[in-house]
Structure 1
Amino acid sequence: MKRFDSLKVLRNVGTVTINSPESIMLARDKFASLLELAKNHVPIPETAMVEDPREAMTLTERWGEVVIKPLIGSLGLGSVKVSDPDIAYRVSKSILSVNQPVYVQKYVKKPDRDIRVFVVGDEVIGSIFRFSNGSWKTNVAQGAVAQMLTISSEIKEIGLKVVKAMKMDYAGIDVVEDTEDNSYKVLEVNASPLWHGFKTATGINPAKFIVKHLLEMIKK
């Protein structure tokens, strides 16, 4: 909160911030950001936030397979895929024991990959596949392999819609291909995305685009 308030103070005295403090805070809160995306008709997986381990059990029984995540986290750390309601109960009880809510998301049946879309301003500068490497997780920081993906009109539309809904200057957006209904779904939005894998796969350096966008903001 101190850092959030510091950014607001800087902005209030005329300093240009990128992204805005409010957008960064919204993106950090996975559930709040998905609520905002749903409100703006961006496709997302079925998701719930509960404070009773029995409710996590019920969701696991209903959805068959779920991912229990930290409400605020990154790099895929702490995310657990569960299909056994009893395990969902134990994982949830552990999270609740340290006064954290339980964030439960229906697991999207997908190929062994996801898509990272990188948007700066009103431009989708590139996208990559992230292929899992012996794990269900597709984070490059956890060993996933990045491969350049040609941007389709549908991916571009989703990326721009997400950034507009979240009022962000730039973002890394995680998208999955849902094989059950042949659609795309947005898992989460990153306000401070890492880009080593993206740059290696595409040859595109997002920093150049971010600095250009920042300079344009300062001129305004």
Structure 2
Amino acid sequence: MKVLILATGQPSKHLINALEERGHTWEHHNPNHLYMLVSDSTSGYDRLYNGHSDLETPVRLLARNYDAVISRIGSSIDHGASILRHLNENLGIYSAQTADGIETASNKLKTTQKLSLNGVRVPITTYAKSPVHTDWLIDKTGGLPTIAKLLRGSQGVGVFILETPQAANTTLESFYKLEASIKLQQFIDAGSKDIRVIVVGDQVVASMERTGKKDFRANISQGGSGAKIKLNDEDKELCVKAAKSIGLEFCGVDLLKDKNGKSYVVEINSNMGTHSISVCGNWFVDLVKHIEQKSKKYKKENIKEEKQQIKNTFESTSSTIFSQTDKEVEELRNSSISRRLAKLESELLK
């Protein structure tokens, strides 16, 4: 396969190793350097160009040169997701992550809403723009202590525990004055531990228990430590369901387990860190194997759909050619369709 790595930073060495060990080639493009072109043609002539500052003129990225996209978008989410959507939907290139899934995962409130909608257990959550009934909002989450989270942020940044009425009032008042959107969430006493789970397709391929050292946050980036664990079947099903709920075939799912062993999904990460690889093994290998299977199926489905579109187009066109005999129209239609279908078949066999 030829893989386009769509990443806002340098691709992980673990990802590169996984691709090369499987015999694949790759090309890295930062979505912030790419230009999108949406054509006025109804037959689909949309384009994507590399607009890096080192280039004298933008260079077109040909869709036929790529079998799949691997997205690792950690910043400029809206733009990166728009580029990925163009690659997936307009240019027909497969990826294990959807633009909508990445956008949802980047918003903690939207993630919670989607999970709850699809029957995935989450901590009780409240949200308001500029509330005057903060005590009521806190009580609805189970009272103090409660967790306050900025709607965007990763690696434990923007997550606070509110333990006293004074701290809660001061913190919330400050955020609301700054017009910073936050949600309040039930405090799950998990003993400063959580579980980072890596999902690929229908499988859990890695799970690591993280233990916090500084405070209630267990993120490795916040000084926590990690240990490989084995999930039970119920938690595996929960994590796969959570990933599917927001449209991601590849992501990190964060679980909290309370004192009674009940599991809650608290976050989903589309651009999860690679700390767990040193503990659990290179889960990028599982991703590459998954893409090998899915990209072939995706390409076949796209070609089948395009074949039908070609037939429909020529059937519509031929009916408007009144100056030619029926025989001439039929010959023209069959000849044109045959050429287009032959080209599609050759692409499929590559």
TM-score over 0.5 (shorter chain): yes
Q: Give yes or no for contact 1:118–1:125 (8 Å, CA) kept in 2.
A: yes
Q: CA separation in 2, counterparts of 1:88 and 1:55?
A: 12
Q: Which residue of 1 aligns with 2:221?
A: 141
Q: Which residue of 2 aligns with 1:80?
A: 160
Q: How many residues were matched structurally?
A: 217
Secondary structure at the counterpart of residue 279 of structure 2: helix
Residues 1:205 and 2:286 aligned together: no
Per-residue deviation, residues 9-61 of structure 1 (Å, max 9, x unmatched): 22211222331100001111111111111122111100111123543343335
Q: Which residue of 2 aligns with 1:41?
A: 119
For residue 163 of structure 1, report the CA deviation from its aligned partner.
1.6
Residues 1:190 and 2:269 aligned together: yes
- What are the residue-to-residue correspondences of 1:1-220 with 2, within 5 Å? 1-11=78-88, 12-52=90-130, 54-61=132-139, 63-179=143-259, 181-196=260-275, 198-202=276-280, 204-220=281-297
Q: Give yes or no for contact 1:95–1:101 (8 Å, CA) kept in 2.
A: yes
Per-residue deviation, residues 147-199 of structure 1 (Å, max 9, x unmatched): 011121122111111122222111111111112x5411111111111121x11
TM-score of the pair, normalised by structure 1: 0.91
Per-residue deviation, residues 114-168 of structure 1 (Å, max 9, x unmatched): 1111110111112111011131110011111000111211221111111222221
CA RMSD of aligned residues (A): 1.7
Identify which range, 133-142 or 58-67, moves more after superposition.
58-67
For residue 102 of structure 1, report the CA deviation from its aligned partner.
2.2
Q: CA separation in 2, counterparts of 1:19 and 1:128?
A: 22
Q: CA separation in 2, counterparts of 1:75 and 1:177?
A: 19
By relative contact order (CA 8 Å, sep 6+), the higher-ranking structure is 1
Identify which range, 84-93 or 31-40, moves more after superposition.
84-93
Q: Give yes or no for contact 2:191–2:216 (8 Å, CA) kept in 1.
A: no
Q: Which runs of 5+ in 2 are unaligned?
A: 1-77, 298-350
Q: CA separation in 1, counterparts of 2:209 and 2:79?
A: 36
Percentage identity across paired residues of the two chains: 26
Q: CA separation in 1, counterparts of 2:161 and 2:201?
A: 34
Q: Give yes or no for contact 1:114–1:176 (8 Å, CA) kept in 2.
A: yes
Which one has a bigger Cα radius of gyration? 2
Per-residue deviation, residues 63-99 of structure 1 (Å, max 9, x unmatched): 2211111101100112110022232222222222332
Q: Which residue of 1 aligns with 2:65?
A: none
Q: Which runs of 5+ in 1 are unaligned?
A: none
Moved over 4 A (4+): none
Q: CA separation in 1, counterparts of 2:264 and 2:293?
A: 31
